C-alpha cells in the first residue's frame, strides 16, 4: 500500500502541466482576441487578397492581419516573430523544442518557382526548426513533428509522455502553418473548401476554410513547475494516436480509428468516459469529417450527451497548428467555465443535435476536456485536458 502511494506520488510529480501559452490567429495576436471573437460568435474568416482565387472553389480563409506575402520573411516566421516577441522570460532556455507543422515555409518554394526569388531548400522543415530554435533561444534537443492536421496534437501528446516518463521536465511545443497559394489551390483541387465561411456540424455544411496560425505552449513536470513557482494552466492527462489505415484523404466510414484514439487517451489518463465534461472537436466543416467525429462520440459516450464545439468557423482550419490552438482555447473554456459556440452553426445536423450549438453554454462541474483531431493519411489524435 505504501509502495503504491509512493509510486502515485512520484507519478503525480511528473504530471505534464501547461505553464504558459500564446497564439496568433485570424482574430489577431493573443488568446483573448481569439476567445472573445469566438465567444461572441463572430467569424474572422475573410476573402483572400494575397493571391487570386477566381478559379478556386472558395475565396475565403482565416488570414492573420498584417502579414506580408512573398517577402524575405515567410508567413509563418512573421507570425512566430510576433508571438515570441511577447514571451520574454517565459521560455526556459533548457527546454526541448517540438515544432509541429505541415508545410512550414512553403511560400519560399512558391517564390522559387514563380520568379526564382528564393531558394526552395529554405522551405525545408529542418531549416524552419533551426530558425525557430534561434528565435526561441532554447538549447535543448529540437525536433519537427509532422502528421498532417494532427501535427501539434501529436506533439503535445508525445511531449506529455516524455514528461510523465521522467525523460525530460520541460518542453516547448510550437505550431504553425500559413495560407498560401500552394495550400489553397490544393484544398480546392480536393473539392474540400466551402464557398462561404465554414459551418462545422451544420446540416448545410459543405466544406472547410483553410486558416493560418502560430502558437506555443510550455509544458513542465509538476515538480519543476512548483520549483519555478509557475502558474498552472492545465494538465495533459492523457493522449491517444491512431490511424484509420483506410484512405489518404477521406476519414473512415466506421470511425474506428478515432474511437481507438479516444479510448487510448482515456486509458492513458486512467479515466472513463463519464469524466469528460466537454469536447473540443476537430470539426472542419466537411461532410465526412464531422460525421466521422459524431459517430465516434456517440460510440464512446453511448448514453451521454456532451457539449461539442469547433472553432474552425471562427479561424478556419489551421492545419498543423489546429491541435495546439484548440487546446489553448479549451484551457480558456475551462477557466471561464463556458463552452464557446460553434461559430456559423445555425441548424445542427441530426447526429450533432443536442451536442453542438451555435450559442455558448455554461460549463458545469465536469470540466475535463476531450480534444480531437484528424488528418490526411487517416491520422487521429485525442488529448485529455484536465484542470489543474
Partner 1 sequence: MRRKLHYDFHAPDERYALSKHDIFSYPFKNFGRLDSLSRITVAAVALAFRDAEKPYSPDCKQAIGIVGTSKDGSLVSDREYFKDYMQGGRTLSRANLFIYTLPSSPLGEAAIHFGLRGPLVYATASTDTLPALMTIGADMIDAHQSNMMLVGRAEQDEALYFLLGGNSEQGSFSFLDMQSIVSTMDDIPSILQASSDLQEKKGVA
- Residue number, 39 or 75, with CB nearest to partner 1: 75
Nearest-CA neighbor of 234 among 35, 17, 23? 17
Query: CB-based burial of residue 55 (10 Å sphere; 0-12 exposed, 13-18 middle, 19+ buried)?
Result: exposed
| 375 and 147 Cβ atoms separated by less than 8 Å | yes
We find the least distance from the C-beta atom of residue 120 to partner 1, in angstroms, to be: 7
Name which of 36 and 188 has its Cβ closer to partner 1. 188
Compute the least distance from the CB of residue 374 to partner 1, in Å: 12
d(CA 266, CA 255): 17
Element (H, E) at 6: helix 2-13
The least CB distance from residue 93 to partner 1, in Å, is 15
Q: CB nearer to partner 1: give 69 or 201.
A: 69
Joined grid coordinates for residue 214: 502560430
User: 164, 183, 162: which is closest to 58 by C-alpha?
Assistant: 183
Comparison of 157 and 341: residue with beta carbon closer to partner 1: 157
Q: How many Å apart are CA 59 and CA 37, to the nearest integer?
A: 21
- Residues 242/324, Cβ–Cβ less than 8 Å: no
Q: How far is CA 116 from CA 41, 109, 111, 113, 178, in A?
A: 43, 9, 6, 6, 21
Distance CA 129, CA 138 (A): 11
Our CB check for partner 1 shows the closer of 130 and 364 to be 130
CB of 241 to partner 1, least distance (A): 4
Q: Which is nearer to partner 1, 98 or 343 (CB)?
A: 98
Minimum distance from CB of 215 to partner 1 (Å)?
19
Instruction: For the CB of residue 288, give the shortest distance to partner 1 in the complex, in Å.
Output: 15
Nearer to partner 1, 193 or 339 (CB): 193
CA distance 379 to 251: 9
Q: How far apart are CA 325 and CA 276, in angstroms?
A: 20
The nearest distance, CB 46 to partner 1, in angstroms, is 22
Strand-pair category, 213-221 with 16-25: antiparallel
Angle between the 322-336 and 151-164 helix axes, to the nearest 10 degrees?
Answer: 70
Q: Can you give the binding site for partner 1, defined by CB under 8 A?
A: 52, 55, 102-103, 106, 109-110, 113-114, 120-121, 123-126, 129-130, 133, 141-148, 154, 158, 161-162, 165, 167, 182, 185-186, 188-191, 240-249, 257, 260, 264, 267-268, 376-379
DSSP 357: -
Residue labelled with grid coordinates 528564393: 118
Q: Which is nearer to partner 1, 187 or 355 (CB)?
A: 187
Shortest separation between residue 36's beta carbon and partner 1, angstroms? 33
Amino acid at each position: 500500500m505504501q509502495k503504491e502511494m509512493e509510486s502515485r506520488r512520484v507519478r503525480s510529480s511528473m504530471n505534464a502541466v501547461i505553464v504558459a501559452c500564446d497564439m496568433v490567429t485570424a482574430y489577431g495576436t493573443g488568446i483573448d482576441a481569439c476567445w472573445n471573437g469566438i465567444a461572441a460568435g463572430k467569424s474572422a474568416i475573410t476573402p483572400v487578397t494575397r493571391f487570386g482565387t477566381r478559379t478556386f472553389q472558395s475565396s475565403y480563409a482565416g488570414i492573420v492581419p498584417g502579414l506580408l506575402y512573398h517577402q524575405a520573411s515567410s508567413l509563418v516566421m512573421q507570425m512566430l516573430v510576433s508571438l515570441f516577441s511577447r514571451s520574454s522570460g517565459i521560455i526556459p532556455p533548457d527546454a526541448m523544442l517540438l515544432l509541429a507543422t505541415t508545410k512550414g515555409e512553403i511560400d519560399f518554394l512558391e517564390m522559387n518557382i514563380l520568379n526564382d526569388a528564393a531558394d526552395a531548400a529554405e522551405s525545408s522543415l529542418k531549416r524552419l526548426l533551426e530558425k525557430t530554435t534561434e528565435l526561441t533561444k532554447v538549447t535543448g534537443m529540437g525536433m519537427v513533428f509532422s502528421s498532417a492536421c494532427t501535427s501539434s496534437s501529436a506533439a503535445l501528446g508525445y511531449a506529455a509522455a516524455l514528461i510523465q516518463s521522467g525523460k525530460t521536465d520541460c518542453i516547448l511545443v510550437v505550431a504553425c502553418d500559413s495560407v498560401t497559394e500552394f495550400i489553397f489551390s490544393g484544398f480546392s483541387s480536393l473539392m474540400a473548401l466551402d464557398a462561404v465561411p465554414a459551418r462545422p456540424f451544420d446540416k448545410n455544411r459543405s466544406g472547410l476554410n483553410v486558416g493560418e496560425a502560430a502558437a506555443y505552449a510550455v509544458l513542465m513536470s509538476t515538480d519543476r513547475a512548483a520549483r519555478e513557482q509557475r502558474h498552472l494552466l492545465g494538465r495533459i492527462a492523457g493522449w491517444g494516436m491512431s490511424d484509420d489505415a483506410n484512405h489518404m484523404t477521406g476519414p473512415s466510414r466506421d470511425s474506428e480509428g478515432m474511437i481507438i484514439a479516444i479510448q487510448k487517451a482515456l486509458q492513458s489518463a486512467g479515466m472513463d468516459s463519464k469524466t469528460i465534461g466537454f469536447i473540443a472537436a476537430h470539426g472542419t466543416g466537411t461532410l465526412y469529417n464531422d460525421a466521422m467525429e459524431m459517430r465516434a462520440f456517440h460510440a464512446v459516450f453511448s448514453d451521454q450527451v456532451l457539449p461539442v464545439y469547433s472553432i474552425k468557423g471562427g479561424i478556419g482550419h489551421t492545419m498543423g497548428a489546429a491541435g495546439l490552438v484548440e487546446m489553448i482555447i479549451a484551457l480558456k473554456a475551462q477557466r471561464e467555465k463556458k463552452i464557446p459556440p460553434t461559430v456559423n452553426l445555425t441548424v445542427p445536423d441530426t447526429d450533432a443535435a443536442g451536442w453542438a450549438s451555435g450559442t455558448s453554454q455554461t460549463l458545469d462541474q465536469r470540466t475535463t476536456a476531450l480534444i480531437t483531431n484528424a488528418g490526411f493519411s487517416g491520422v487521429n489524435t485525442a488529448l485529455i485536458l484536465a484542470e489543474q
